[in-house]
Amino acid sequence: MGNVNKAMSESVTRNQEFMLASQREQLERQIHLQNEMREKMLALQIARSREMLYWFGAFYIIAGVGMIAGYRRSRKPGTLVPLLPLTFILGYQTDMCYGSKLARLKMEAENILGFERELVALPGGLPTPASLDEARMRQEEARRLNKIVSVSLFAA
């Protein structure tokens, strides 16, 4: 009888080790997948910013030519005033798309996470499985009470 118990406990131990290794591998895959999705979303955001820069650059050139032509015709310097904010916007977009703006944003985010962690903390702390279950049960209770109230309104 001792051999059967020993063989079964060894089998259970091997099974637990296999399940633990399987869970670790699955967790690593999930982390890798989430990182790939984050990288793809960031690449899409950069591509979208670059596309917006192309359109804004074309608008800036056309508007600049129009303002310069208006200035040459009227000789009023007020016609060139809109070029100032448009130049700042174009510079910002260019820095975001092709400059080091993204690197500076990442460095600032790392500083915030390193030294100002309380700014990104969730109000009320991290949710626990118990608090999630409690919230789910409250929602089910409210939904059930809602059905009872709506049925009694139709019955009256």
pLDDT in tens, the chain (156 residues): 556 677 778 888 888 999 999 999 999 999 999 999 999 999 999 999 999 999 999 999 999 999 999 999 999 999 999 999 999 999 999 999 998 998 999 999 999 999 998 888 888 888 888 888 899 999 999 888 887 666 665 665
Q: Is residue 54 in a domain?
A: yes
**CB of 93 closer than 8 Å to CB of 56:** yes
Print the domain residue range for 72. Answer: 8-122+130-155
Q: Is residue 117 in a domain?
A: yes
**CB of 134 closer than 8 Å to CB of 128:** no
Q: How far apart are CA 138 and CA 124, in angstroms?
A: 18
Q: Is residue 1 in a domain?
A: no
Q: How far apart are CA 156 and CA 6, in angstroms?
A: 68
Q: Is residue 2 in a domain?
A: no
Q: Is residue 3 in a domain?
A: no
Give the chain's domain count: 1
